[in-house]
Amino acid sequence: MFDLGMDFSTLEETEALGGVFRQDGQADDLVRILAQNGTNAARLRLWVDPYGEDGAPFGGGTCDLPLVIRLARRAKDAGMRFLLDLHYSDFWCDPGRQLPPKAWKTLRLDELETRVYDYTRNVLHTLEQAGLTPDMVQVGNEITNGMLWPIGRLSDPEPGKARQGFDALSKLVNAGCRAVRDGSSARIMLHLERSGDNAVWREWFDRLLARGADFDVIGASYYPYWHGNFTALKNNLNDMIARYQKDVMVVETAYAFTSEHFDPTQAGANLVINDSLKCYDGSDAPYPLTPEGQRLFVKELLELVASLDGGRGTGVYYWEPAWLPLPGSTWASEAARIYMQEEEKPGGNEWANQCIFDYQGNATPALKEFQAFSKKI
C-alpha cells in the first residue's frame, strides 16, 4: 500500500482564523478535498505540553493530544490511514532543536527512558480508547542529531570522525519503540533529514541497529533546498533498502509555488524559502518557484519514490499543504519563543508559499498530481 499523505496539523488553527479552502472555485472541507484528490493518509504531530507557564498556546497548530484526536477522527472518517508523529518535546523538533518537555528537563537518562516509554504507552492507550489507533508511529522527529537534548544529543557529523552519543540516544529511541510494540500493532518509523547524505545515514542506522533498535520503516524529510538533488535522494534511499531491508518513505516534503511574499511590506515573518533558486550546495533548484514548478516537483518525487528498488518506496507525505497566511497565523507565539530561547525571532507564517493551497486558499495544480498518481496504484 502506497501512502499518499498530508501533514495538516495546523488545520484547526487555520480554520479558527477564518481559513477557507477551494478547488476549481468550490469551497469545501479541507479533509474532504484532500481525500477526493487521492490522499489516503494523514500525518499528525504531537507535542507534550505546547503551552506557556501561564497557559498561553505556542501556535504552529498547538498540537496537543486533544487536537490530534480531533484531527485523526476527521482523517479516519475520510478513509485515511493515520501516522502519529511523536516529537517528545513541547514544540518543534528538527535538526537544530530537540528540547525536552518543560516537565522532563531535569530528568536523568534512566528517568528519561522510563518517561519516554510511559508517555508513549499512555498516548497510544488514549488513542485506542478513542478508536483511533495509529497505523504507524514515528519515534521522534528529524532525529539525525539526536533527541531530548542535551542527554540524547549526537556530536556534529565530521568527515572521517565517528559521531558520539549513540549509547544514550539508542536508549531513548528503544524505549519509544518498545512502548509502541507493547501498546499497539502500529508499524514503527525512525525519521531523519539530510536525505542526500548517505554517509551520515549509514552511520546513524548502523549504530542504532547495533544497539537493538526495533523498527519497520525509514522516514526521510526531503526539501531540495537543504537536502540535495533527486539523484542523491534516490541513491541514498535505495541504499537504505539494500542495506537494511526496510521500507522507506518521504514523510516531509514541500516546494514553493511562488517567491513573492504574501505581505508586500514583509512586516511579518520571512518566508523560509524566498526568491532564491539556489540550493544549499550551490546547485540550481529543480524547478522554478511557480505553480507549474511545484506541480512538476510533486510529480517527479511521487514517481521517484514509487520506483525505488523492490517496491519498498511506500509513501510520500506533503508537509503542511494548507497553512494559510491569515492574521494571527504564526509558527511560534511569544510564549513559544521564550520556551525555545529564541525571543529575537519574529513570529508569523514562514511556510505559506510552500502550501498546495495559495494565499487565498485555492488549490494549486500540484494537488491534482496526487489524484492522478492515486489512479496508478
In Å, how far are 179, 320, 368 from 188, measured between CA atoms?
A: 10, 22, 30
User: Which residues of the chain register pLDDT less than 70?
Assistant: 275-277
Domain count, the chain: 1
**In terms of C-beta distances under 8 Å and separation of at least 24 residues, what long-range contacts does 199-202 make, across chains too?**
199/157, 199/159, 200/144, 200/157, 201/236, 201/239, 201/240, 202/239, 202/243
Residues 351 and 196: their CA atoms lie apart, in Å, by 22
**DSSP symbol at 69:** H
Gap between the terminal Cα atoms of the chain: 8
Q: What is the pLDDT of residue 277?
A: 65
Grid cell 504552529 — which residue? 60
State the CATH number of the domain containing residue 322: 3.20.20.80
- The domain in which residue 101 lies consists of 3-374
Alpha helical stretches, state H, 47-161: 65-77, 109-129
pLDDT at 79: 98
Q: Which residues on adjacent β-strands are paired with residue 21?
A: 28
Residue length, the chain? Answer: 377
pLDDT at 273: 79
Query: Residue 268 has what pLDDT?
Result: 73
Hey, which residues are catalytic here?
142, 252
